[in-house]
Amino acid sequence: MLDKKGIAKRIAQELQNGWYVNLGIGIPTLIANYVPEGISVEFQSENGILGMGPFPFDGEEDADMINAGKQTITAMSGACIFDSATSFAMIRGQHIQLTVLGAMEVADNGDIANWKIPGKMVKGMGGAMDLVASADNIIVAMMHTNKRGVSKLLRQCTLPLTGVGCVKKIVTNLAVLDVTPNGFKLIERAPGVSVEEIQAATEGRLIVEGDIPEMKID
Amino acid sequence: MLDKKGIAKRIAQELQNGWYVNLGIGIPTLIANYVPEGISVEFQSENGILGMGPFPFDGEEDADMINAGKQTITAMSGACIFDSATSFAMIRGQHIQLTVLGAMEVADNGDIANWKIPGKMVKGMGGAMDLVASADNIIVAMMHTNKRGVSKLLRQCTLPLTGVGCVKKIVTNLAVLDVTPNGFKLIERAPGVSVEEIQAATEGRLIVEGDIPEMKID
Amino acid sequence: MNKVVANAKAAIQGIEDNMTLMLGGFGLCGIPENCISALVEANIKGLTCISNNAGVDDFGLGLLLQKRQIKKMISSYVGENDEFERQMLSGELEVDLIPQGSLAERCRAGGAGVPAFFTPAGYGTEVALGKEVRYFNGKPHILENALTADFAIVKAWKGDPMGNLVFKGTARNFNPLMAMAGKITIAEVEELVEPGELDPNFIHTPGIFIQRIFQGVNYEKRIEQRTVRQKV
Amino acid sequence: MNKVVANAKAAIQGIEDNMTLMLGGFGLCGIPENCISALVEANIKGLTCISNNAGVDDFGLGLLLQKRQIKKMISSYVGENDEFERQMLSGELEVDLIPQGSLAERCRAGGAGVPAFFTPAGYGTEVALGKEVRYFNGKPHILENALTADFAIVKAWKGDPMGNLVFKGTARNFNPLMAMAGKITIAEVEELVEPGELDPNFIHTPGIFIQRIFQGVNYEKRIEQRTVRQKV
């Protein structure tokens, strides 16, 4: 089974040279720490920066330099700054090659819910609806089940949707899965996790074809 | 009767302090030379500059600084440069207080035709259609009749339209006229021009109420 | 052309109860601190505020929420604010949540004279309820309307008396878009410079979009999430 | 991320007969001179060119017209070009004339993932034929579609290897918008600078929109209307 770092490391293996990447808050943010050797990517934050760098050194924080999670950040050499409309022009116009975000639920048709629990506090969708509706390549990073052990990979979402039919790939603490027209297709198992365990934790349709390899994570 | 300079001088009297103004090619361009004392306006050129200044001194031309007529220009102190989408955001978004342009024909309902003569060379509308469709305050600067002596102030335009019902005021070599729901309303006569002469040169409905004063031009 | 006013109090003249305001900023970054304080002091009520976020309990728009000056918030993300939550759950506060990219584009459209446009964001969700759906290249889109405001209030780094503005870093965010969409737009700046001091080639917001400008005072520029690393 | 190619010839690899190109510039100001020469040399035919103007007889897109490489022009203003006139009147050249502001906004929309938007420009004219009309605030608007291109070719003043661009003066014009709307966008620059040399806060076109960049040579930068005044 993977921890959050492990999920981030596994998704980092998907990065390709020259990609522009938008990372959501939470597990996705960790991916920036595990970019493979020899791969050069640029991170976009939807509040208006491309070429986002690491956190500033203590004492060098600049209130005018934050990411979409409102964390203080730095800019890499070759970075650029722009307004929110230009930022979402990049996103909506499909100039971003990969979007990674968290989810509360994913359905086996690619629907995603991650912004609202009716009756509880509604914080808002932020940029998530633009991201999922626009990106060709969306990976969801999340735990396979919620805190009560209930599957988050469902036949149908129960929460209000963020986007429809948009998720392409899911990386959880248990598995890597592709979203196909016939449901979740199991691609890899997390180290030490059996197909049966994944099946048991997946409420939506799960496709298991042939031998399922175990992930390779350093 | 006014010459082209006179038309420009008369229109310059309409300028109000703090206005942003877009001047078309031809007579309108001359208006910049006659801004009244104490009035501060800024000229926009739709290819992407606000705060357009006079022509450069001989030898100081910059190929990268032109106006919409492709003439070399300078920038005033406090000018700014922007792309064509931002430029037309200013125009379409009604941030420009006055647009002055020439016309081949104006109808007494405010329709204007100034971009195409079927069967002859078509040069294109450039920014004229955006300007006339967007501006609240459009003045047409033109000669009252064409070279063959035919009226350009018509009951109905005969040429393909640039915009419908948009012209508010017309300044010609003979008169100042407002466009009203009932036709062209005569406001002022050019020096030495009689109401009868204006009537004879106007094909569209002309409204003459009371004494029509003569323009005051320095 | 001189658009300089003395201070925030002078700048907000004409803002009345029940008006619609746009306020720039993302989180607490790039917010018009001086004007928010002046609005609190003037105790203007019943406001509809269009702003990506709603501040925190004791800063930014949270100050207006505390005094119940806001009737309705139009935002994309409104976490980090207990008083907001309380007012929303109790029904005191109306809230209209909008995808962030649609919010940005709707402000720009409002300023650019584009009354409506199609976007894929929100299709198939609550956001699309009651909105026209149309397919382009086989992909569903919804029609979104432009947003405008009685007053837009933005915060810039530098500005000149004609209203030309330059922003710093990610404090730019929504400010240039909202600047376009106000019937009257107020800019507060950290530094008011002489005319001609800003390079015409590098101005973020052309002065034409600004009606009033002043140099603000006592900027706190609070940081919401101070994240740092240690020097090795 | 290094997007630098050797020269115009390398940059235009992949442009084939019958493709659609966008070319930046207004008149002869800010046009991609090097790439136009390379297209002439490569003798690519049947092109659809989206460009505000069509050059003059012996410069700019006029060079492609002379060699009959252009099948269709999509522009707002095409005067100043006798060969253009001849080809259009003889029916050799298709021409689609678009209001200048709609052209700019349609390119931006193409790059921004906005498939269509409403604009008042052209309502009641030939431009509106066959287009949907809708009233907003009592004013008629027409629906315009986004424009995209197989390749967009832009000219900037300075650029870095990641594709970040800075333009000079009114040579900016359509270049930043078309840069957004190309499936592949080529930037030719007067000066290719080192990474980090351009201030992140003052970049006109973010590198994300650019796929190939090179430093051009022998810029003529011809002036169409040399207008000057004399020193007194």
C-alpha count within 13 angstroms, C-beta hemisphere, residue C216: 26
The answer to whether the CB atoms of C172 and A46 lie below 8 A apart is no
Helices then strands, counting H and E runs in chain D, come out as 6, 11
- Please indicate if any CB of chain C lies within 8 Å of the CB of A217: no
The answer to whether the CB atoms of D113 and A80 lie below 8 A apart is no
Greatest extent of chain A over all pairs of C-alpha atoms, in Å? 54
Least confident residue range of A150-154, A211-215, C122-126, D228-232: D228-232
Place of tokens 């995209």: D148
**Burial B53-74, CB ≥16 within 10 A → b, else e:** eebbeeeebbbbbbbbbbbbbb
Please name the residues in contact with C138: beta carbons below 8 A apart, sequence gap of 6 or more. none
Closest CA to A145 of A195, A186, A203, A194: A203
pLDDT average, residue stretch A1-7: 95
The answer to whether the CB atoms of C29 and A63 lie below 8 A apart is yes
Q: What is the pLDDT of residues C117-151, one digit of tens each?
A: 999 999 999 999 999 999 999 999 999 999 999 99
Distance from the Cα of B21 to chain C's closest Cα (Å) equals 11
Shortest CA distance from D74: residue in chain B: B124
The answer to whether the CB atoms of B44 and C208 lie below 8 A apart is yes
Binned at pLDDT 50, 70 and 90, residue B121 comes out as: low
Closest CA to C84 of C41, C54, C125: C54
- Please indicate if any CB of chain D lies within 8 Å of the CB of A44: yes
Specify whether the backbone of C13 is left (phi greater than 0), alpha (psi in -120 to 50) or beta. beta
Estimate the crossing angle of helix B84-92 against helix C100-112, to 10 degrees. Answer: 70
CA–CA gap between residue A173 and residue D18 (Å, rounded): 50
Catalytic residue positions of A, numbered: 46
The answer to whether the CB atoms of B83 and D173 lie below 8 A apart is yes
Structure token pair of residue D114: 């906005």
Backbone angles phi, psi at C65, to 5 degrees: -65, -45
DSSP state at residue D231: -
Radius of gyration from C-alpha coordinates of chain C = 18
What subunits touch chain D, counting only 3 or more CB pairs under 8 A? A, B, C
Please name the member of A77, A82, A96 whose beta carbon is closest to the beta carbon of D196: A77
The answer to whether the CB atoms of A81 and D180 lie below 8 A apart is no
Domains (range + CATH), chain D? 8-108+147-215 (3.40.1080.10)
Please name the member of A75, A88, A95 whose beta carbon is closest to the beta carbon of D208: A95
CA–CA gap between residue C15 and residue C200 (Å, rounded): 31
Q: A159: exposed, middle or buried (C-beta count within 10 Å: 0-12, 13-18, 19+)?
A: middle
Place of tokens 């997946």: A202
CA–CA gap between residue C192 and residue C169 (Å, rounded): 18
Report how many Cβ contacts below 8 Å link chain B to chain D. Answer: 184
CA–CA gap between residue A108 and residue A203 (Å, rounded): 9
Tell me the C-alpha to C-alpha distance, in Å, between residue A160 and each of A119, A139, A163, C122: 12, 19, 9, 11
The count of other CB atoms within 10 Å of the CB of residue D129 is 8
Which positions in chain B touch D103 (Cβ < 8 Å)?
84
Task: Give the pLDDT of residue D82.
Answer: 85
3-state secondary structure C60-78: CCHHHHHCCCEEEEEECCC
Q: Which of residues 83-142 of A touch C (CB under 8 A)?
A: 83-85, 87-88, 91-92, 111, 116, 121-130, 133-134
Binned at pLDDT 50, 70 and 90, residue A160 comes out as: very high
Shortest CA distance from C108: residue in chain A: A85
Amino acid, single-letter form, for residue B140: V
Which positions in chain C touch B20 (Cβ < 8 Å)?
208
DSSP state at residue C111: H
The answer to whether the CB atoms of A78 and D180 lie below 8 A apart is no
**Does the pLDDT of residue C17 top 90, yes or no?**
yes
Looking at the DSSP bridge assignments, the partners of residue A99 are A22, A138
CA–CA gap between residue A56 and residue A67 (Å, rounded): 12
Task: Give the pLDDT of residue A47.
Answer: 97
Sheet strands (E) in chain A: 20-23, 42-45, 49-52, 75-81, 98-101, 105-107, 112-113, 138-141, 153-154, 169-171, 175-180, 183-189, 206-207
Binned at pLDDT 50, 70 and 90, residue A218 comes out as: confident
Please name the member of A55, A59, A92 whose beta carbon is closest to the beta carbon of C119: A92
- Assess whether chains B and A touch, using the rule of 3 or more C-beta pairs within 8 angstroms: no
pLDDT average, residue stretch A32-41: 94
The answer to whether the CB atoms of D116 and C113 lie below 8 A apart is no
Q: What is the pLDDT of residues A24-35, one digit of tens each?
A: 988 999 999 999
Q: What is the pLDDT of residues D21-73, one digit of tens each?
A: 999 999 999 999 999 999 999 999 999 999 999 999 999 999 999 999 999 99
Q: What is the pLDDT of residues B185-194, one digit of tens each?
A: 999 999 999 9
Place of tokens 């405010």: B110
D175 and B48 Cβ atoms separated by less than 8 Å: no
Looking at the DSSP bridge assignments, the partners of residue D18 are none
Distance from the Cα of C120 to chain D's closest Cα (Å) equals 8
Closest CA to C120 of C105, C111, D134: C105
Radius of gyration from C-alpha coordinates of chain B = 17
Which positions in chain D touch B25 (Cβ < 8 Å)?
none
Please name the member of A79, A90, A94 whose beta carbon is closest to the beta carbon of D200: A79
**Does the pLDDT of residue B160 top 90, yes or no?**
yes
Q: Which of residues 63-82 of B touch D (CB under 8 A)?
A: 63-73, 75, 81-82
Binned at pLDDT 50, 70 and 90, residue D103 comes out as: very high
CA–CA gap between residue D58 and residue B212 (Å, rounded): 53
CA–CA gap between residue B66 and residue D29 (Å, rounded): 8
Least confident residue range of B181-190, C24-33, C74-83: C74-83
CA–CA gap between residue C56 and residue C28 (Å, rounded): 8
Is residue B46 annotated as part of the catalytic site, yes or no? yes
- Please indicate if any CB of chain C lies within 8 Å of the CB of A59: yes
**Does the pLDDT of residue A121 top 70, yes or no?**
no
